Structure 1
Amino acid sequence: MMTPATIDPLHTPLCDLLGCEVPVLLAGMGGVARWELAAAVAEAGGYATLGMVREDPALIESEVTALRAATDRPFAVNLIPSATDPALLEAQIRCCLDLGIGAFSFFWDVMPEVIARVKQAGCLVLHQVGTRQAAAEAEQAGVDVLIVQGVEAGGHVHGREAGLDLAVGVHAVSRLPVVIAGGISTGDDLAAALRAGLDGVQCGTAFLATGESFAHDYHKTRVTAATGDDTVLTDVFVLNWPKGAAVRVIGNSVTDALDGRLFGHDPATLPRDAIAWDGDAPRLRFSTDSPLRTTTGDMEAMALFAGQGAGRINDIPPAGVRLRDMAEAARRILAQG
């Protein structure tokens, strides 16, 4: 019989819903969260998400196949409907449903018709939001889990409020499990979230700087050298996304050249200069593309996504080590009462 002393303090109802051991989610980082990283997180007891934003269905199929060969643990596929051409989005969803995907993770604008479609197919839906209004809209649309993103987050940032305040506020009025995202990188962060009554955490930057991540080593190294104060929130890296979409990146030559004008950049008027390549595919200055293992060219001028928790990330271990260290530290903290 399980006694209170043997109950894992990290085990929340979210773990039962998602089929994971600890309530730590891998963010669906486009380009970075490929099958190797997803498998490593899942095998270490976390919940994995494949970052398939705007990817060809053929890549989705190959990534899902490779992930399933590496682990039998459940996972989600991350898509961003409002930043994806409707025809491609339709092909992506059809591909995922044909593959028997059981869970989707969505982000940015809440699109009830997309949520309804995958819910009707019997899928779980996790939705990342950045405002109380978006959280209410997502819950009304029928999602199963709310991922509440604070302004501290790296990559695309939807809201402008401190993550813990926002997540606790959403949790107070929602019937759904609430996960906090943004600046989460240590066991202290995980313990603080659970003590605040939240159901789990989602990590991006912490898993970007791991061995299995598909990010380029240059990007990983820049993360380990950065502090939270080295990150910049701006909408200059906006090609491929709707106008006004902000990102948090490590400051570089592009952001330095803005002379403080971090916002107000229109993708329709930005130049399309190729500064790097992935194979034959050009990567443009001001695009949302970050440097991957396959990238060559001027990586310093690309979007080097990182959250404000980067200052507590100082090495590049295997993802399973990062997750287990975080979990063990959180258990020790929670055991202290």
Structure 2
Amino acid sequence: MRTTLARKLGIRVSLLQSGMGGVAGPDLACAVSEAGAAGCAGGYKLVGDAMSAMLGRLVAGTGHPVGVNLIEEVVGSRTLAEQVGQVLDETPRHVYLSLFGPADDAVLERITAAGRKLVVQVGTVEDGLRAAAHGAIVVAQGTGAGGHLLGTVHRDDLVAELRTLLPDACIVAAGGIGSPAAAAGAVAAGADGVLLGTAFVVARESMAHPYFKTAVCDSAEADTVITDVYGIGWPGRPHRVLATDVTRDPDQPRNFIGRTVVEGKPYVVPRFSAAVPTVTTSGRIEEMAMYCGLSCGDISQEVAAADIVAGFARVLPGPATLESEKG
């Protein structure tokens, strides 16, 4: 029987926050979860003490369902297994795991066998079917999404095809959703909830650099491009970003253009790095990867995460909506 995202995860609003690496730290994730949706912190390349520090803040910040996003394509299967093990060992059961892109069946089985809720973001029908076979909440990402793109299909088309093949699965729409009207449209197209990324880049609790936030607020759809230039650290995956001098001239030298700090450890940032500019980043921010979806045209100011959730709550199903409609 089909159910809402809210009922599936035990939250009040059928809304997922994207676990954007660098941008989505524990402060943002916990604020979203405390507001009644499902927050998610970006695990990205964190392992060992750095991962433990992040998980500690996440668990301390909320007792509501909250997630950790991991990406096998970036870290490889061995590191992913280590990350999953840390999340399972160091967090209580209200912490769910979110995977961006496909992962080995063994990983999916390990997560669900531990009794954790599993979210898998996909860009193809094939990957959606495999994720659903493991009981995952399936996030159908369309090409309007900001960040790395998992497929070549429009969001509503992917949702519709997955819904036909998976009538009882929990399917979440992602990509180009920046307004309650767009969210309502995605639900009408067959989704059981929505995932927002770009909308939360500009949240007050987001770790995005102020320049990044302002650029998103000042941009429209035409200011975004799909490219593959920001490939250092994550090669071979096209991504939608705000157009910059780097996207316009990809033949520039791979010089260091800035510095950043992740969990207390300093790093240099080369031109063409996949890393986003955060509040700990300095240098040529305007040349860095500023992931941004087509939803930017509906986003005009920095607001609190709770206000973003509240704005979408009125159009998204709650935990009993589909069940009551069935009755």
Give the counterpart of 1:195 among 188, 202, 227. Answer: 188
> Partner letter of residue 273 of structure 1?
N
Within a 5 Å distance, the mapping from 1:178-327 to structure 2 comes to 178-243=171-236, 245-258=237-250, 272-279=254-261, 280-327=266-313
In structure 2, how many angstroms separate the alpha carbons of the residues matched to 1:180 and 1:215?
A: 23
Give the C-alpha shift of residue 26 in structure 1. Answer: 0.3
C-alpha deviation, 1:226, in angstroms:
0.5
Task: Give a deviation string over 1:195-250, Cα, whole Å, max 9, x none.
Answer: 2231000000000111000111110000000001110001111111242x011000
Q: Is the 8 A contact 2:141 2:175 kept in 1?
A: yes
Letter in 1 for 2:242: I
> Which stretch has the larger CA shift, 204-213 or 61-70?
61-70
Q: Stretches of 4+ moved more than 3 A in 1?
A: 328-331
Gaps of 5+ in 2: 322-327
Residue among 152, 156, 160 paired with 1:168: 160
Match of 1:136 in 2: 129
Superposed, 1:53-92 pairs within 5 Å as: 53-92=44-83
Q: How far apart are the structure 1 equivalents of 2:102 and 2:273? A: 20
Aligned partner of 1:145 among 130, 137, 142: 137
Aligned residue type for 1:318: A
Structure 1: state its 5+ residue gaps: 1-11, 260-269
Alignment partner of 1:84: what SS?
A: helix
Displacement of 1:325: 1.6
In 2, Cα distance between equivalents of 1:153 and 1:26: 13
Does the 8 Å CA contact 1:25/1:201 hold for their aligned counterparts? yes
For residues 50 and 179 of structure 2, the distance between their equivalents in structure 1, rounded to whole angstroms, comes to 32
What is the alpha-carbon distance in structure 2 between the residues aligned to residue 120 and residue 68 of structure 1? 21
Instruction: Give distance in 1, aligned partners of 2:313 and 2:23.
Output: 22
The aligned residue for residue 100 of structure 2 is: 107
Aligned with 1:61: secondary structure? Answer: helix
Does the CA-based 8 Å contact 2:81-2:107 persist in structure 1?
no
Aligned residues: 309
Please, what TM-score do these two structures have when normalized by structure 1? 0.87
In structure 1, the partner of 2:112 is 119
- Whole-Å separation in 1 of the counterparts to 2:17 and 2:196: 5
Structure 1 Cα separation of the partners of residues 23 and 297 of structure 2: 20
The answer to whether the 8 Å contact 2:120/2:139 transfers is: yes
Give, in whole Å, the separation in 1 of the partners of 2:223 and 2:139.
Answer: 25
Shifted more, 278-287 versus 61-70: the winner is 61-70
Q: Offset at 1:185?
A: 1.2
- Give secondary structure in 2 for the equivalent of 1:134: helix
Alignment match of 1:37 (pick from 18, 21, 28): 28
Structure 2: distance between partners of 1:258 and 1:242? 14
Note the C-alpha offset of 1:299: 0.8
Q: Report the CA distance between 1:14 and its aligned residue.
A: 1.9
Structure 1 residue 100, shift from structure 2 partner? 3.2
Residue 278 of structure 1: SS of its match in structure 2? strand
Over 3 Å counting, the alpha-carbon distance change for 1:166 and 1:86 in structure 2 is closer
Q: Report the residue type matching 2:113 in the other structure.
A: Q
On the 8 A contact 1:110/1:137 being kept in 2, the answer is: no
Instruction: Note if contact 1:77-1:101 (Cα within 8 Å) is conserved in structure 2.
Output: no
**Would the aligned equivalents of 2:13 and 2:316 in 1 still touch at CA under 8 Å?**
no
Report the Cα distance in structure 2 between the residues aligned to 1:184 and 1:293, rounded to whole angstroms.
25
Query: Residue 157 of structure 1: which of 134, 137, 149 is its match?
Result: 149
Shift of 1:107: 1.4
Match of 1:266 in 2: none
Native 8 Å contact 1:146 1:177 kept in 2 = yes
CA offset digits 1:43-92 (Å, max 9, x no partner): 11111111111113323322222222222101121100121044432321
Q: Is the 1:41–1:47 contact (alpha carbons within 8 Å) kept by the matching residues of 2? A: yes
Structure number with the bigger relative contact order (C-alpha 8 A, sep ≥ 6) is 2
| Residues 1:101 and 1:239: Cα distance change in structure 2 (over 3 Å) | farther
After superposition, the CA RMSD in angstroms is 1.9
